[in-house]
Amino acid sequence: MSEKTRGQTLKEELFYKKKSAFEVKTPEELQQAKDYAVGYSAWLDKSKTEREAVEAGIELLEAAGYKPYSVGDPIKAGDRLYLNNRGKSLFAMHVGTEPIENGVRICAAHIDSPRLDLKQHPLFENDGFAYFKTHYYGGIRKYQWITIPLALHGVVTKADGETVKIRIGDEPGDPVLCISDLLPHLAKNQNGRPLGQAFTGEGLNVILGSSPFIEEDGKITPADEKSKLNIMILLNEKYGITESDFISAELSIVPAQNTVDVGLDRWLIGSYGHDDRVCSYPALTALMEAEESVHTNIAVLADKEGIGSVGVSGMQCVLLSDLIDELAKNLGGNPNVVRDRSKCLSADVTAAFDPNYPEVYEKRNSAIVHAGVGLAKYTGSGGKGGTNDASAELVGEVRKIFDDAGVIWQTAELGKVDQGGGGTVAMYIADHNIETVDIGVPVLSMHAPFELISKADLYEAHRAFAAFCR
């Protein structure tokens, strides 16, 4: 090998070069990433709604010795606690031994994903078919939800106050639900419409059944709404619900597909709901892995990010701040000082550069699949509107933590300037005077019913969050 010239050496010293996990990692390290993905995939299959993600999260936490906590309970150093917020968001904390006024480290992800929620009077019949009316939740491209197998997940609180869980379409042998589409032979008018107008929200009606109720004498019932009656009877037999119980329900239509490896080399995972459970799972595993840390670490799995982080289970709620008040009260500190010295990774997915659609990305500043977890100094749209925009100092601090721990990471910007944009929970956490920066796993086909992520990037998210907690 010939000696490097001064120019070549200086270039290596002075220039930034993004590297993929395959350039940097040993075969053993790459295998660790694949092994980590197995646990994630299993967890994700149990977590198709925020409620299910809370339950699956608690399962992991309890197995690691975490105990239930309610606001007001005593807290002491060394405690492993989780707060189940009304079944819809989850706060897990490991209380460190250092003074609480040193601040806490927070990894905040979200566990809600785009889906089709049922309306309050969802069940109707049209020409022999029984349907559910839906009202979509979050940013969806409507055409993607048509002609794919769908499942029904959620809860119904009955008139007597009892809440029953519903999960149809994901167990082996289960029937699935579906939204039908036009045949190409008759789609002339629809094909002429812009993609965003070809499908309407009110048109996203889900097929539930197609057969009439049969009376005991073997004859079709003379009652009208025969298919709707048939479906209501089946639901009543299985769950004990009547039509009025839909009024007090949270039922969602989600893709029936479970996680699966994508590509013959098995380096991608395809699934519904990577956004943002692909950061939620690492937030929990990092919390558990960093338990030797003297810091107090908190993992937040929030709800409602898809519709603006609103409500008691969203990140605009003061509960995170209340929790810091409780930590300060119990451990002897001024809560305002704790917040002032706390730091947060707003752990949410970012857009991965898609070679199939290069025109919407600015490649130099886009996250590349397999090049590690993506750090986004800012998100937002139209001149950084609606972004937290972390400081140079915080990005510098986090960058050093990652580099010292050998984390593979890259910067991430959602796409070209003025092409679109998006937001995260970061600004709502920063509102509490907590320094926050966005970081997350790059996703292909974000918000689609079947999103793709890299196993290497997933593992680096875990390693990044663990380094931050340590």
CA-based nearest residue to 305, from 40, 53, 37: 53
CB of 429 to Mn ion, least distance (A): 14
User: Which positions ≥6 away from 439 have C-beta within 8 Å?
Assistant: 345, 346, 347, 373, 374, 375, 376, 398, 409, 461, 464
Of 16-24, 42-50, 267-275, 280-288, the segment contacting Mn ion by CB under 5 A is 267-275
CB of 441 to Mn ion, least distance (A): 10
CB of 376 to Mn ion, least distance (A): 12
CB closer to Mn ion, 52 vs 245: 52
User: Which positions ≥6 away from 306 have C-beta within 8 Å?
Assistant: 110, 112, 113, 114, 137, 138, 139
| Assigned token pair, 48 | 């198709």
Mark out the alpha helices in 203-318 (DSSP H runs): 226-239, 274-289
| Site mask for Mn ion (CB under 5 A), range 190-219, x = bound | ------------------------------
CB closer to Mn ion, 275 vs 451: 275
CB of 446 to Mn ion, least distance (A): 8
Of 118-126, 155-163, 270-278, 334-342, the segment contacting Mn ion by CB under 5 A is 270-278
Of 83-91, 193-201, 313-321, 346-354, the segment contacting Mn ion by CB under 5 A is 346-354
| Assigned token pair, 65 | 């010795």
CB of 414 to Mn ion, least distance (A): 11
Q: What is the DSSP string of 12-65?
A: HHHS-----HHHH--HHHHHHHHHHHHHHHHHHHT-SSHHHHHHHHHHHHHHTT
CB closer to Mn ion, 250 vs 348: 348
Site for Mn ion contains 303 (CB under 5 A): no
CB closer to Mn ion, 276 vs 438: 276
Maximal CA-CA distance, the chain: 94
| Assigned token pair, 298 | 């908190």
CB of 170 to Mn ion, least distance (A): 22
CB of 308 to Mn ion, least distance (A): 12
Which residue type occupies 204?
L
Using an 8 Å Cβ cutoff, are 415 and 442 in contact?
no
CB closer to Mn ion, 229 vs 307: 307
Question: What residues from 348 to 367 belong to the interface with Mn ion (CB under 5 A)?
Answer: 348
Residue with smallest beta-carbon separation from Mn ion: 276
Of 17-25, 176-184, 244-252, 345-353, the segment contacting Mn ion by CB under 5 A is 345-353
Question: What residues from 272 to 291 belong to the interface with Mn ion (CB under 5 A)?
Answer: 275-276
Of 45-53, 141-149, 269-277, 413-421, the segment contacting Mn ion by CB under 5 A is 269-277
Report which secondary-structure segment, H or E, holds 153: strand 150-157
User: Which positions ≥6 away from 467 have C-beta within 8 Å?
Assistant: 401, 402, 404, 405, 407
| Site mask for Mn ion (CB under 5 A), range 78-97, x = bound | --------------------
CA-based nearest residue to 459, from 395, 376, 370, 377: 370
CB of 426 to Mn ion, least distance (A): 11
| Assigned token pair, 462 | 């875990």
CB of 443 to Mn ion, least distance (A): 9
CB closer to Mn ion, 289 vs 348: 348
| Site mask for Mn ion (CB under 5 A), range 233-262, x = bound | ------------------------------
User: Which positions ≥6 away from 438 have C-beta within 8 Å?
Assistant: 345, 346, 348, 350, 375, 376, 377, 378, 379, 388, 390, 424, 426
CB closer to Mn ion, 79 vs 275: 275
CB closer to Mn ion, 100 vs 109: 109
Judged by CB under 5 A, the number of residues near Mn ion is 3
Using an 8 Å Cβ cutoff, are 92 and 66 in contact?
yes
> Checking DSSP bridges between strand 80-85 and strand 451-454, what pairing results, if any?
unpaired
Beta bridge partners of 126: 129
Q: Which residues bind Mn ion (CB under 5 A)?
A: 275-276, 348
